[in-house]
Every structure is written in C-alpha cells, then in structure tokens.
Amino acid sequence: MMLALYGHLFSSYTWKGLIPLYELGLDFEFREASPAFPENGAFLAGAHPAGKFPVLVDGDTTIVEATAIIEYLAVKHPGSTLIPADPMQAVTTRMLDRVFDNYVMHNMNRVVMAHILGGENPDQGEIANAREALRRAYRWLEEWLEHNRLPPHVSLVSCAAAPSLFYADWVERIPEGSRLAALRAELLALPAASRCVEDARPFRGYFPPGAPDRD
C-alpha cells in the first residue's frame, strides 16, 4: 500500500505532516479530509481518537498526531535531519516542538475558533487573551533565539514552527525586525514550506478572522 497522509491543505497541523514528506522526497498519496471525500472522514473517525487529522498510513501502520508522524518518519529515514542524532540537540528539538504547538499554534487556533463559534459576534475576551498569550510566546522565543541556535533545517522544529508562525502572524503580527520575524521568513523560503503555502492559497478566503493581503 502506498504511503498516505490524511488532512487538509489549509490546515496548519497538516502542513506539519506534509513538510517532512516533501523534504524527504517521498512518494505518497494525499487524501483530503473534507465533505467532498466522505470516505476519508469515515476513516479518520475510526483511526484517530478524536477523528482529527493529520493521520499517516504506511501499509499496516497508522500514526496519529503530527509530532508522532515526524518521529515515525525520522525512524524510517535515519539519515534525515528530522530528529538530530545528538541526544541533547534532540531534547532541544522536542522542547521547541512543544513550544510552537502549545503556545503559538494553539493560541492562534483559539482566535480562529472564537470566530468560528461566535460568527459575527466572536468572543472578544477570548481573542484578546489568546493574542496576549501569543505575544508572550513571541517574547519567550525572541529571548531564546538571542542566546541559542536552532537545529539544522529541516527538523521537527522546522515542521512545527513554519505553520505556527505563518498563521499566528495573521492574527497577531510578529514584530518587524525581530529574530522571530526573520525565522518566519527563513522557514517559509524552504521549498517544502513554500509548497504548503502555495497549495493552501486557494483556501485563504475561508480563514475566519480574514486572511491578510501578504505572504
């Protein structure tokens, strides 16, 4: 059976699963999770404990959650840079993966969900709190980048940071001239991340808070 990834091209977590697949140059089938393909939704409902995506299928093996997908691909392709060989660098890589997922991606999604749930009257308190949490995460990352170096691209960190920073900047602008803004530009220039940006472009009108006229 061909390697297959279930997800949606506009989904930040799907990007996280797509970037390593593109970087490794793997032959895989993308299976869109949308009402147009109910069979894919039915598969996800049984494959993932919450029916979410991305989900990777490799023969008889099914891997759920984007971070686990990258860990799996790193094991299957030991010559890659997805997880550094040095144990301490690997710890740093996994730490930053959690920071980007839990404090950048998550808080960006809080703003998105406020708009989805609230419609024309989104919860402004939730949006303000999420944006403040994003600013706090930005400050922490800016300080970390001043004193530390990221693992080489493309790593687990790259896969988490590229979609996180891409979409987070849409809801809370990353300060211009900052190290974090420079990292965002650097990541989005990577061929694998750039491909995700371009493939998602047709869906920008669906971004609930409104997609900005940039990127």
Q: Which two tokens stand for residue 94?
A: 């996994």
Q: Which pLDDT tens digit goes with each residue over 47-73?
A: 999 999 999 999 999 999 999 999 999
Q: What is the pLDDT of residue 203?
A: 97
Q: Which pLDDT tens digit goes with each residue over 22-54?
A: 999 999 999 999 999 999 999 999 999 999 999
Q: Which pLDDT tens digit goes with each residue over 75-118?
A: 999 999 999 999 999 999 999 999 999 999 999 999 999 999 99
Phi, psi at residue 64, to the nearest 5°? -110, 155
Phi, psi at residue 181, to the nearest 5°? -65, -40
**Domain boundary assignment for the chain:** 87-190
Q: Which pLDDT tens digit goes with each residue over 6-21?
A: 999 999 999 999 999 9
| pLDDT beyond 80 at 148 | yes
**Residue 127 near residue 120 (C-beta atoms within 8 A):** no
> What predicted TM-score, i.e. pTM, was given to this entire model?
0.96
In a 3-state reduction of DSSP, which class is residue 54?
coil
Q: Which CATH class is domain 87-190?
A: mainly alpha
Q: What is the mean pLDDT of the chain?
A: 97
Spatial CB neighbours of 38, under 8 Å, sequence gap ≥ 6: none
Q: Which pLDDT tens digit goes with each residue over 158-191?
A: 999 999 999 999 999 999 999 999 999 999 999 9
Q: What is the pLDDT of residue 2?
A: 83
Q: How confident is the model at residue 156 (pLDDT cuts 50, 70, 90)?
A: very high
Q: How far apart are CA 180 and CA 168, in angstroms?
A: 12
Three-state SS for 140-169 is: HHHHHHHHCCCCCCCCHHHHHHHHHHHHHH
